[in-house]
Amino acid sequence: MKPMLSDRRDRRPILLANARILDPSRDLDFPGDLLIADGVIREAKRGIGAAGVPEGTEIVDCRGMIAAPGLIDMRAFVGEPGAEHRETIASASQAAAAGGVTTIICQPDTLPAIDDPTIVDFVQRRARDTGIVHVHPMAALTKGLAGEEMTEIGLLKAAGAVAFTDGARSVTNAQVMRRALIYARDFDVLIVHHTEDPNLVGEGVMNDGEFAARLGLIGVHKAAETIMLERDLRLVGSTEGRYHAASITCAESIEVMRRAKEAGLAVTASASINHLTLNEIDIGPYRTFFKVSPPLRAEDDRKALVAALEAGVIDVIMSDHNPQDVEVKRLPFAEAAAGAIGIETMLPAGLRLVHNGEIKLLTLLKAMSTRPAELLGLPGGTLRPGAPADVVVIDPDVPWLLERDELKSKCRNTPFDEARLQGRAVRTIVAGRTVYELV
């Protein structure tokens, strides 16, 4: 099978016939047909049939396939502006389409940082001109991502920022974070925070424990995450702001988040597909493609994350897409840059959890589509009639081998290199147009 990009101007009606319709926004799972016309969902029901569609409709036999809302990746690094050698909006959106992702939420740690309305406007214009999926920016929480002075939250929201974060940096100043949460409450925006105390991380490069000791590498203790998360949630309790933990990685953090939710705080959390499907042992003989931040944890932590996802303590699965080129990855493990690409492999890696019986398919799709849409106030994540026609068609059982040279991202730093996978996106539809098709 080879991927093909279809003509973006072709907005003929599409009937996805004989599909398994999965709509996590309504907990629906049934065999039927999905009709798309004029860029929106027209109908999703049993027995529409060819006779009930407009003339000229493209009819796609989806027997054995799943039709679901397009995925929304809530945390992806896109290099524009300033790091186009790592990724561009064009290349990231091609990778997204191949992975069934119809909306990318890009991070603000660019050059310059997305801390001004003009930079938000630049990203949006580039997305319109060069992207084939939706691209929305998160704006910087502090100016220059320095953690010292808040950005103009109201102006940035008005310009189109969907949430506020300092990307892979933590705001260590508690007073700055408290003020940000108050402003977030007043403007009804979401604060997304990377919970790692940099002083506790220090020079650590992987999970602290026996395996790190065997490899002779400095570990990162889980307290670096839980202490920052505990602080943040206490601030949320005193400010009533909306807060989202960007990347939960360990069992201790899950318990912290569980208690906060039980107390009624407006808090949610993400876990990356890497932490849900991989563990520290995968690093093996110093494989730098498995060096990520926060680091991969122990298998017990991975299992706890999966259980927390099924229980609703973790709300969102994101790719944590972080392209790094050969020059910074082909180095000794301690010196290599952290980060892995993931926007194209998020869905097939997640399907591993489904095939292994660890989570339900509806749970997976809800965490990759409906919940991100709800948290960010976006119109996707649903197959309700009248909703934007952002749809992914999935072959859940097709076996395939991931080959680096076929990836659409500019960089190839995938931890799933040469992995045997089962299931993938075979068609991606954005605003009623087919932007990717595997034939």
Preceding amide of 332 cis, omega within 30: no
Q: How far apart are CA 150 and CA 142, in angstroms?
A: 4
User: Tokens 């959890």 correspond to what residue?
Assistant: 353
Instruction: State phi, psi for 345 to the nearest 5 degrees.
Output: -110, 0
Cα–Cα distance measured from residue 63 to residue 395, given in angstroms and rounded to the nearest whole number: 9
Q: Catalytic residue at 320?
A: yes
The single residue of 116, 208, 320, 390 carrying the catalytic annotation is 320
Chain-centre distance of CA 19, in angstroms?
25
Main-chain phi, psi angles of 77, to 5 degrees: -85, 125
Closest of 164, 114, 376 to residue 122, by C-alpha: 114
Query: Burial level of 221, CB count in 10 A (0-12/13-18/19+)?
Result: middle
Which tokens sit at 24? 């996590």
Give catalytic residue positions.
320
